[in-house]
Amino acid sequence: MNYSEADLLPLSALQHLLFCPRQCALIHIERIWAENLFTAEGRILHEKTHTPATERKRAVRVEYSLPLRSLRLGLTGKADVVEFHSTGGSSSGEVPYPVEYKRGKPKADDSDLVQLCAQALCLEEMLGVRVHEGALFYGRERRRTRVQFDESMRHRTEKAALDLHEMVAAGRTPQPEYGKKCKSCSLQDACLPRACSSKKAVSKYLASALEEK
């Protein structure tokens, strides 16, 4: 079953979902957004790649801010960079190689990997070619990390896309689960993870607030 154009969701939401389902719901269901140092650094890192342009580097054609879409997965978005490596034939003999730019360093979870794999699946559907690998470029390390799109990663990505559509269709925001990753989230003030994670936490929060007055 393919999704309609009206049902397409942002490809970037996959990264939000796997990082934190509540963050994803706040952004894509409740339409809440806030910026902090980390998101600002990420935006600055993306400035060049978010300007549509084409470059030629020897046998490689480089496309910046390339529009992507998959009706099968129900996703739409833009790839920071897609390199088209020539196979030695005509322009039709090119192999796409998506490159996603991220601030910081590789994450412990696979949220960045899934987002990149989703770009590859979009390219496959749009161009009718197999995309075997791509890369993540992390601003702190200043180098690329190669990513292989094996069957396990493809399955994980397809499941994430399905989970995303189910969550948005249900229109429900998950309860918060406070953890280390909350410290880097720009939506702390809207999410209130410490205060809302449990009834006990709420009581503690209110008691603490009263003591401070």
Read off the pLDDT of residues 89-136 as tens digits, 9 standing for 90 and up. 544 589 999 999 987 888 888 999 999 999 999 999 999 999 999 999
Amino acid code (one letter) for 79? A
Give the separation between CA 94 and CA 84, rounded to whole angstroms: 5
The whole-number pLDDT of residue 211 equals: 62
Strand, helix or coil for residue 212: helix
Give the separation between CA 66 and CA 123, rounded to whole angstroms: 10
Amino acid code (one letter) for 6? A
Give the separation between CA 76 and CA 41, rounded to whole angstroms: 24
| Close Cβ partners of 168 (under 8 Å, ≥ 6 residues apart) | 9, 28, 29
Give the separation between CA 126 and CA 115, rounded to whole angstroms: 17
Q: What is the dihedral of CA 116, 120, 123, 127, to 10 degrees?
A: 160
Q: Quickly state the pLDDT bin for 71 (edges 50, 70, 90).
A: very high
Read off the pLDDT of residues 11-49 as tens digits, 9 standing for 90 and up. 999 999 999 999 999 999 998 876 544 444 445 455 555
